Structure 1
Amino acid sequence: MERGPAPALRRLRIRLVPVSLCAAALSVFALAGAPAGSGAPAGSPTRAPAIAGQPAGAPTNLPHFSDNRPHAELAAAIADAMTDEELLAQTLMFGWAGLDPSPLVTSWVAERSLGSIKVFGWNTDNTQKVAESVTLLQKKAAEGRFGIPLFVATDQEGGWIRHIKGRTSETPGNLAIGASGVPADAWYSGYYISRELAALGINLNFAPTVDLYTDYESTVIGPRSFGEDPESAGILGASFMAGSREAGVLTTAKHFPGHGDTGSDSHGKLPVIDIDKKTFAERELVPFRRMIQAGVPAIMSGHLSFPRITPNGEPATFSKKLLTALLREELKFTGLIITDDIMMNGATSWAGSVSKAVQLALEAGNDIVESSTTPGFYDALWVNNIERMKRSEAFRSRVRDAAYRIIRAKLDYFKSGSAVPIFPDLDNIDERIPDPEGKQFFLSLAARSVTVVRNESLPLQADPTKKMLIASSFPEFLSAGRTRYPDANVSGINGQLFRMARASDTVIVSLASESEVPFVRDLQWSGANIVIVSLLSPVLLDRVPWAKNAIAVYSYAPDSFRAAFASIAGDFEPRGIMPLKDVQ
């Protein structure tokens, strides 16, 4: 007898959404089990698809990225022709300081054949400048001996984590998607976010986060998660991936094997997640299994210790048991394994040095080692690992295997016909960012995510005989409130709030951080009707159990503010479902 869908999947399927959205969401399920890229099959034409933006022609004495050969064969030929320095450089991904690429990172690409670059938030106030930087570095890469393009990565998860700023869309984010419960919302979030990245020449996104929101006090993952249900996180993550793929951008499931059950941040120290093997297998690994089944092209390893899973509690980044035995051999993942920033204390404190951290990461099974900074040309990170390649055939073989996997992935991607162009169209950035079609979608997602947590007197109609106060630390929240209630007074969340609340009949107040809790808590004695709008983590609503009216919107995005006030005013009936089971 055929079994029905799992409870989490059942809940996701029954939500009412436009037919067009549902149809798009179904594409993710068709991808289940598909390989990340299979290269040129037997009997296929010998001419490879054109690589957008790459100059034609190649040296005849060396294999070249533009050669028309089966991908596996060409990747092996290039890897075999590389020097030790070229092999190691292919496994490295560097960021740089400032808006313009530094001469140092440019030299790494031009002279050392660096394999990948990472665009961070400090590089991105000007989206035009981002596209120009990508163009410059890709041109340097194309001039290399083998003409191998760069993977250009960033963290554009949506919501709270938005490294590419400037004109890019501010979106409700993953926890809002979890509250909507609609796979199509994840699909279109991935799609529109990725269309903006593609306009800039960014081809690899370190998203989605499929860590679970199991530690309610965590400020590291929190609203970056789709929620605490493993199956839902996997379904929504796979949908985000499929939408991104449609826009031509590669995705990365993170942070393997799961960062959700800790309040510690690996930027500062090594988080320890003390869970047993059963919980680990039945909770943490579930979203990653589903992402692998759906063909995710990359997984990010986390600087996370699981002392009851690995014998000595080393970070997953350095664990051959977790990355090779579990991820590669047991879970059958064939894509790229990429480290989180190797400069984080969670990695270097264990390894003792950045140089050693790079060595351990590669030996454990990572293919790409990410660094937020650009090391010097003769930094120990480089010199020590080149020397190790010359001394240890096993280490050299591991680096060569990683470089081969990267080159093969690049061939599969850049010659697929659907990749992000290597050189972005610099004359068309403003027309594509923010995405003109995404604007209406993200507002509708914000509305679908609004969750009524408590309700005694909602909706609220404007009443000229009553005094209303709107309070927030966000000017955009105050502006959205005044648009809906023009006669309302406004206040920050500070020492004046209680006095102004006592002179009001109704107070609509946002709650976004632990530091605001004391000011909001005092409002219970103001005598006013209080409506609390939770803006990021709804866990803070547990700090104000006396509040009889509370909604959650999970985001700082202006669209979420507008959706909040539209729901408070009764424009629509909120249907979001709290993605954290114990928040009431």
Structure 2
Amino acid sequence: MKLKVVAFFFCSVIFTVAFADSAKIDFWSDIPPEPLSKKLVESMGDEELLAQILMFGWAGAEPSDLLNSWVIQRGLGSVKVFGWNTDNIQKVAKSVRILQQEAASRSLKIPLFVATDQEGGWIRHVKGETSDTPGNLAIGASGYPLDAYYSGFYINREIRALGINMNFAPTVDLYTNLNSSVIGPRSFGSDPVDSGILGEAFAAGSMDAGVIPTAKHFPGHGDTSLDSHGRLPQIEIDARTLVNRELVPFEYLIKAKIPAIMSGHLSFPQIESDGTPASLSKKFLTDILRRQMNYDGLIITDDMMMNGATLFAGSFHRAVMMAIEAGNDIIISSTTAGLYDNMWTRNLERMRTNSEFKERVKDAARRVIFTKLNYFKSENHAPLYPDENSIFEHIPDKDGQKFFLEQACRSVSVYKQGTAFPLKPAEGERVLIAGPFLALYSEGRKRYPNVSTFHFSYELKNDNSNFDNWNAASLVSVADSYDTIIICVYDKHTANIAKRLRYMDKRVVILSIMSPVFVLDDFDWADTILCGYSYSGYSFAALFGALSGEFIPQGIVPLKH
């Protein structure tokens, strides 16, 4: 009898100690990441599990009360900083600090992933004083992996100072459809191997800066002219083309252990016959990405508020459910859902009634927490509680400013060389600069102090030929008094305006920025065409530096045409 009592006593002690250890466990417990991530997931209820795999953005300069409620009450796993709330970067840093403090106040103390889209060039969601860089197509034009590495390093070193720990970059979509309106200069170019090498280098720079990179948009957004924000693009390629072209850059990044990949709202009817978007497709995400390509990192959806996903699924909550079942680990919504939105209640109900679905949510939550443990317990991560009063010591990055100018110079490409290259105006020669950017004028005047300028609107109305004609007629009237016209071309509207100069007996220099596709054809009449790939001040400085003969451009247009 005494032996039974003693045995019962020791069992009670062991149970009590084990229970106490379990109760005390949190994110910062001194346990290796793999077992700790499993223990944390097992200790979480359904609501905590589902919240951990959600990422919400907020509108306005600071997070709403609703978003704060998601963090405090539900244990939201991630937030995203969008471009509409980032002009005041001190407020961004303060908001991140407060949200992380709220996350730390919960019992498990799991930090937030704080993400943004800071690709460089065209896509720069965190604005304010951050660097406006030459962008990916400029990197592709120079062709140097070191340019990609240091672009990733300096871009991410800036946002790290704000407490942003995840960046949805690099974009490794191939620029194969020259009519693309959504990828364009966000791409490194049309060559899959070059894009893979440059994407890998960019990601390495990001990781060395202490920010998690995310390759996008799997399996490739480049071969379509449609934008998945508005409708679901259909990409008519077969499986062989997909493997030998679109997937090549992702192969490079997977071998380099990229921590995260974003799935795209893209339909490939020849591969997924019912047209299911890749972001909602188990075949693409589980069969191809996980099993065939042996990818073990996070899979993150593109914004689920985009019509490309929701229209196919029929509703937002259904799209989220399909995204989870397909294999995504983090589900993004650009707006914060209501606490009792259908997205939440319907998916929570499915967890409680479908054990397979619940296991998929648990697997996603475990993968998110495992990645967080490895990141936040490393020696190189963004500050959890950024100091908004010291960020101007880091932004803009002083070393980065010097680098981006040099990188812009390496990217400048001479597409056509004429008598105006280099441009050395003769005595009495009258030069006009036409375009919509202040940096265009200021950089031009540094080299040509006596130039005149002609301004036309940056926000030209889409498909408004009357607006184009009015600007073109005004330009022709003014240009009649000049000998040489330097005009900036960056879209179809500015190309249409520039083409009206072909019938004048003038020397015309085209400075192409953003995508060069608008000047690759039907501009043989122009004297000189230089390509600079972005509207960054660095790119304008480089273009005028090349035009005036300060250096010999070495860039090559990275597109097959």
After TM superposition, the score normalised by the length of structure 1 is 0.89
Aligned residue for 1:468? 431
Q: Distance in 1 between matches of 2:21 and 2:501?
A: 73
| Partner amino acid, structure 1, of 2:542 | A
1:560 aligns with 2:523: no
Residues of 1 paired with 2:149 and 2:403: CA distance? 11
Q: CA deviation at 1:463?
A: 3.0
Q: Secondary structure at the match of 1:525?
A: coil
| Pick aligned residue for 1:99 from 51, 55, 61 | 61
One-letter identity of the residue aligned with 1:339: T
Is the CA contact 1:270–1:303 (under 8 Å) kept in the aligned structure 2? yes
Secondary structure, aligned partner of 1:437: helix
Task: Return the alpha-carbon distance in structure 2 between the equivalents of residues 462 and 432 of structure 1.
Answer: 41
* Cα offsets for 1:135-155 (capped at 9, x unmatched): 010000011120000000000
SS in 1 for 2:550: coil
Q: In 2, Cα distance between the equivalents of 1:141 and 1:345?
A: 31
Instruction: Determine the C-alpha separation between the residues in 2 that align with 1:328 and 1:194.
Output: 27
Residue number in structure 2 paired with 1:291? 253
Structure 1 residue 354 corresponds to structure 2 residue 316: yes
Look up the match of 1:459. Answer: 422
2:177: which partner in 1?
215
1:178 aligns with 2:156: no
**What is the deviation of 1:423?**
1.0
Q: Deviations over 1:113-170 (max 9, x none)?
A: 0000000001101010000000010000011120000000000000000000000000
For the pair 1:569 / 2:522, whether they are aligned, the reply is: no
Q: Give me the whole-angstrom Cα distance separating, in 1, the residues matched to 2:362 and 2:414.
A: 54
Instruction: Report the counterpart of residue 525 of structure 1 in structure 2.
Output: 503
2:188 aligned partner, one-letter code = F
Alignment partner, residue 559 of structure 2: 580
Question: Is 1:538 aligned with 2:516?
Answer: yes
Equivalent position of 1:37 in the other structure: none
Tell me, what secondary structure is at the counterpart of 1:234?
A: helix
Unaligned runs of at least 5 residues, structure 1 = 1-57
1:83-133 deviation digits (Å, cap 9, x = unpaired): 000000000000011011100000000110000000000110101000000
Q: Check the 8 A contact 2:90/2:389 in 1, yes or no.
A: no
TM-superposed deviation, 1:59: 8.7
Alignment of 1:229-378 (within 5 A): 229-378=191-340
Deviation at 1:311?
2.7
Return the alpha-carbon distance in structure 1 between the equivalents of residues 496 and 168 of structure 2.
36
Question: Structure 2: 5+ residue runs without aligned partners?
Answer: 1-19, 457-470
Computing the radius of gyration from Cα coordinates, the structure with the larger value is 2
Conserved? CA contact 1:119–1:154, under 8 Å: yes
Query: What percentage of aligned pairs have identical amino acids?
Result: 55
Deviations along 1:253-277, whole A, 9 cap, x unmatched?
0000000000111100000000011
Question: How far does the alpha carbon of each residue in 1:59-83 deviate from its partner, in whole angstroms, 9 at most, with x for none?
Answer: 9714200100011110000000100
Deviation beyond 4 Å, 4+ runs, structure 1: none
**CA-atom RMSD in angstroms:** 1.1
SS at match of 1:68: coil
Q: Kindly provide the amino acid, as one letter, of the partner of residue 227 in structure 2.
A: D
CA distance in 1, matches of 2:376, 2:522: 50
Matched, 1:130 2:92: yes
Partners of 2:507 and 2:526 within 8 A in 1: no
> What do residues 271-320 of structure 1 show as CA deviations (whole Å, max 9, x unaligned)?
00000111111000000000100110000000000011113110001100
User: How many positions carry a matched residue from both structures?
Assistant: 525
Comparing 475-484 and 562-571, the one that deviates more? 475-484
1:516 paired residue number: 494
Looking at structure 2, the residues matched to 309 and 507 of structure 1 have their Cα atoms a distance apart, in angstroms, of 50
Cα distance in structure 2, aligned partners of 1:252 and 1:121: 18
1:517–1:543 CA contact under 8 A, matched in 2: no
Distance 2:21 2:118 in 1: 37
Which AA in structure 2 matches 1:473?
P
Q: Judge conservation of contact 1:498–1:519 (CA < 8 Å) in 2.
A: no
Which range moves more in the overlay, 414-423 or 72-81? 414-423
Residue of structure 2 equivalent to 1:142: 104
